[in-house]
Chain A
Amino acid sequence: MENPNLNYIKELSGGDVTFEESILSILKKEFPEELALFKKNYEEKNYDESANNVHKIKHKISILGMRKSLELASEFENELRTGKTTLHKDFLNVLNKIHVYLGC
């Protein structure tokens, strides 16, 4: 599986360290909150709401340069909206990778 990276953030920053620090700070703050919310809604089988959580997390996956994981997240979001959960384990793997990478 691909690893998270800072290529996109570096490209946007053009060396602007303040921007890089700001975006990483938001990622570190928001990602654990969104992860917890997703897990809670998923455990409660509130799949519509967990699809919304996946949607929001998708942007963070894309910022961290994980293209294939982004596609997987999109598929999982659509799947959840129809009540299916076959990609849940794969999606959790992606989330775990990000969690470890951000160290949050």
Chain B
Amino acid sequence: MNCIIIDDDATARLIISQLCNNSKQISVLEEFSSAIEAIKYLNSTDVDAIFLDIHMPSFSGFDFIKTLKSPPKIVLTTSDKNFALEAFEYDCVVDYLVKPITKERFEKSILKLTNIKDTKIITKVNPSKDESSFIYVSVDRRLVKINIPDIFFVEAKGDYISIKTAQKNYIVHSTLKKIEDKLPSSLFLRIHRSFIINISEIIDIEDNSVLIQKSVIPISRSNKSELMKRLNLL
């Protein structure tokens, strides 16, 4: 796993770099004293993770996150405990380290980074305001907003459906037919009487099943030809 460090404080950059060297699980690609420099770098380079200082002059860590369309995993670093609540409003933020960062605490952070399977957080930080990119589902008497491209697949479970997303599983009292009508057919396909999948999330297909995340999902014989048509086959 690789990372970049963004902090206006040279001592902080050196310390995080040293912690990364000690951990041996993460290598530092670059260090930046300003978020603006980092934005330019990220335009041309993919990184797995960012150690990001919140409190920087003129352009804060939060301002920086808002500029990223598809942010990598971010560990916030700060001398203040006060920003923790705001920090976790961003889906890409996986941890919050208060300076001075100890070895033990840093190792926990590396564990969090490496335990998250995806190299990119799929949820957009600034999702489009186009209402069609979301659905609202009723969960525990609350209407919860789900970003449609974040849905991996939907499974029918009796009178309920299970909506699997990058963030969590939502169990909703509804039918597969109802949600199928709400999902864009360009992205989703029913491949079995109990499953609708996000085609862009398929990892591989073997015989009569597809792999999405860690789930093996069956393909009905009658749906397989439609699925094969929709794939960008070589």
Contacts and interface: CB of A to CB of B under 8 A. Distances in A.
A59 interface: yes
> How many of chain A's residues touch chain B, expressed as a range?
20 to 34
Interface in B5-35: 8-12, 14-15, 18-19, 22
A56 B33 CA distance: 13
A58 B12 CA distance: 11
A60 B18 contact: no
Main secondary structure of the interface of A (DSSP, over half): helix
A52 B57 contact: yes
A62 B98 CA distance: 11
Contacts, number: 45
B9 A56 contact: yes
Contacts of A62: 79, 99-100
A82 to B, nearest CB: 14
Given A14-B22, A52-B57, A55-B55, A23 B15 contact: yes
B101 to A, nearest CB: 9
Contacts of A86: none
Contacts of A74: 79-80
Interface of B: 8-12, 14-15, 18-19, 22, 55, 57, 79-80, 99-100, 102-103
